[in-house]
């Protein structure tokens, strides 16, 4: 598992980027580990994104396309960038505003 110090350094760099309105780190099981958004939204993001990542990983595996490395969802409010790290047991979610 990634060290807490390394994780905090990564999160700090992400949060400093222009347009970032939230960062959530969750386990592959949907347990939020770190977040800078409100607790209710954090829990929703963790649950929904975990399910989405699981489905996306299944699709990539079934299509024999290797391993899922990144997902980007474009929305009317901005982007949701999702980086699953199955070996670390983590999913990183970055919510960004439209620029």
Q: Residue 7: is its pLDDT beyond 90?
A: no
Question: Is residue 89 assigned to a domain?
Answer: yes
Question: Is residue 9 assigned to a domain?
Answer: yes
Number of separate domains in the chain: 1
Question: Is residue 20 assigned to a domain?
Answer: no
Looking at the DSSP bridge assignments, the partners of residue 90 are 27, 85
Q: How far apart are CA 45 and CA 38, in angstroms?
A: 11
Sheet holding 78-85, edge to edge: 32-35, 20-27, 90-97, 78-85, 71-74
Specify the CATH number for the domain of residue 9. Answer: 3.30.450.30
Entry pTM = 0.90
- State the pLDDT at residue 74: 96
- State the pLDDT at residue 1: 64
Q: Given the DSSP bridges, would you call strands 71-74 and 90-97 parallel, antiparallel or unpaired?
A: unpaired
Which residues form the domain of 72? 4-15+25-97
């Amino acid at each position: 598992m990634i060290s807490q110090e390394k994780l905090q350094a990564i999160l700090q760099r992400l949060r400093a980027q222009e347009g970032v309105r939230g960062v959530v780190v969750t386990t592959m099981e949907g347990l939020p580990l770190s977040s800078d958004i409100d607790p209710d939204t954090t829990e929703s993001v963790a649950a929904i994104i975990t399910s989405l990542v699981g489905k996306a990983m299944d699709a990539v595996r079934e299509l024999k396309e290797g391993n899922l490395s990144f997902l980007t969802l474009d929305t009317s409010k901005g982007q949701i960038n999702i980086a699953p790290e199955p070996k670390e047991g983590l999913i990183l979610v970055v919510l960004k505003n439209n620029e």
